[in-house]
Amino acid sequence: MPTMNFAEAIRDALRIEMERDPNVYLIGEDVGTFGNVFGVTKGLIDQFGEKRVRDTPITESAIIGAAVGSAACGLRPVAEIMYIDFIGVALDQLYNQAAKMRYMFGGKITIPMVLRSACGAGRGSAAQHSQSLEAWFMHVPGLRVVMPSTPADAKGLLITAIRDDNPVVFLEHKLLYNTKGEVPEGEYTIPFGQADIKREGKDVTVVATARMVHYALNAAEKLAADGIDVEIVDPRTLSPLDEDTILDSVKKTHKLVIVHEEVKFAGSGAEIAAMVAEKAFDYLDGPILRVAAPFCPVPFAPSLETEFIPSEEKIIEGVKTVVQG
């Protein structure tokens, strides 16, 4: 298989779907001539033209509004919000319109749109350009929430997202864009609601998302030297959530640590922890532990931002706390 970075894998998925289906188009700030602020859509305007790769004004409400309307009329838009922090000015279009129209109209229309956006901290971008807000979207019935951690997952999940007849929030951690990995050639899909066991183990389950999957894998290698065998589950989609894979892992290891970059309070880990407590409590040998960001805005100062982001050391400490008691 060829090696691609995360951004190239996303671009490959977009190219494949735009070649396959003339109803697929891109819309957003700087997605065309500039090729996205991170270079993800670079070159697509040269292949598909300005009608299918549409640069927009700095008006997120118009971007999402146009995507919802065109999806309702039969197109398959891939709308980009440059940073997920900016979604606030377009929330009505997303959670009150896109998420509800198919239900409210009795299935007479579908809303096959994808919202792509960059999330996450680590670039010194401060409080308004660094957030992880996936729990917001998990709470809305009608939205699918996707959060890949590898190039191969990003490509397969994005193709699935574009072909889905429901609105999909597709979140890309900005510090994953340059990570590399083997990616299958051509078109392939990864089903929603199918978690991936990134590392098998027997002593403790770690459920991690996005960039934290890589932190957890590194921590697991260090913990192995101490005789602790960590199983790492990457949900890949937070809605729908693959409960069975998580529960089966917990039933095997009897211990659970959840790692994400969102703030801990009311984050996605709270839902996962509650689900396990409700459905697998008798299999747990101790309390569930969450390793996540503190309940504060993302700091700008590098030293504070580093402290804000969950680290390998914090994951190791959390795993040892759960395993050793």
**260-303 confidence digits (pLDDT tens):** 999 999 999 999 999 999 999 999 999 999 999 999 999 999 99
Catalytic member of 129, 173, 214, 260: 129
Q: What is the pLDDT of residue 164?
A: 98
Is 129 tagged catalytic?
A: yes
Convert the pLDDT of each residue in 122-138 to its tens digit: 999 999 999 999 999 99
One of 3.40.50.300, 3.40.50.970, 3.40.50.2000, 3.40.50.740 is the CATH number of 3-182, namely 3.40.50.970
Q: Which architecture characterizes domain 196-324 according to CATH? A: 3-Layer(aba) Sandwich (3.40)
Rounded to the nearest integer, the mean pLDDT of the chain is 97
**No. of helices (H) and no. of strands (E), the chain:** 12, 14
Q: Is the pLDDT at 325 greater than 90, yes or no?
A: no
Closest of 298, 324, 253, 296 to residue 125, by C-alpha:
298
Q: Where are the domains of the chain?
A: 3-182, 196-324
Q: Is the peptide bond before 240 cis (omega within 30 degrees of 0)?
A: yes
- DSSP-based three-state secondary structure for 4: strand
Convert the pLDDT of each residue in 50-96 to its tens digit: 999 999 999 999 999 999 999 999 999 999 999 999 999 999 999 99
Convert the pLDDT of each residue in 151-175 to its tens digit: 999 999 999 999 999 999 999 999 9
Same fold, 3-182 and 196-324: yes
For residue 197, the cross-strand partners are 233
pLDDT more than 90, % of the chain: 99
Q: What is the pLDDT of residue 42?
A: 97
Q: What is the pLDDT of residue 94?
A: 98
Largest Cα span, the chain: 60
Q: Which two tokens stand for residue 229?
A: 């065998």
Q: What is the pLDDT of residue 167?
A: 98
Taking the C-alpha atoms of residue 13 and residue 161, their distance in angstroms, rounded to an integer, is 10
CA distances for 101 relative to 61, 70, 188, 219, 227, angstroms = 17, 13, 29, 43, 52
Taking the C-alpha atoms of residue 230 and residue 237, their distance in angstroms, rounded to an integer, is 21
Tokens 């956006």 correspond to: 117
Q: Which two tokens stand for residue 71?
A: 């999806």
Taking the C-alpha atoms of residue 96 and residue 118, their distance in angstroms, rounded to an integer, is 22
Residues ≥6 apart with Cβ < 8 Å to 104: none
The secondary element (H helix, E strand) that includes residue 103 is helix 101-104
Taking the C-alpha atoms of residue 318 and residue 133, their distance in angstroms, rounded to an integer, is 23
pLDDT band at 110 (very low <50, low <70, confident <90, very high): very high
Convert the pLDDT of each residue in 237-250 to its tens digit: 999 999 999 999 99
Q: At 82, phi and psi to the nearest 5?
A: -50, -50
Taking the C-alpha atoms of residue 199 and residue 186, their distance in angstroms, rounded to an integer, is 26
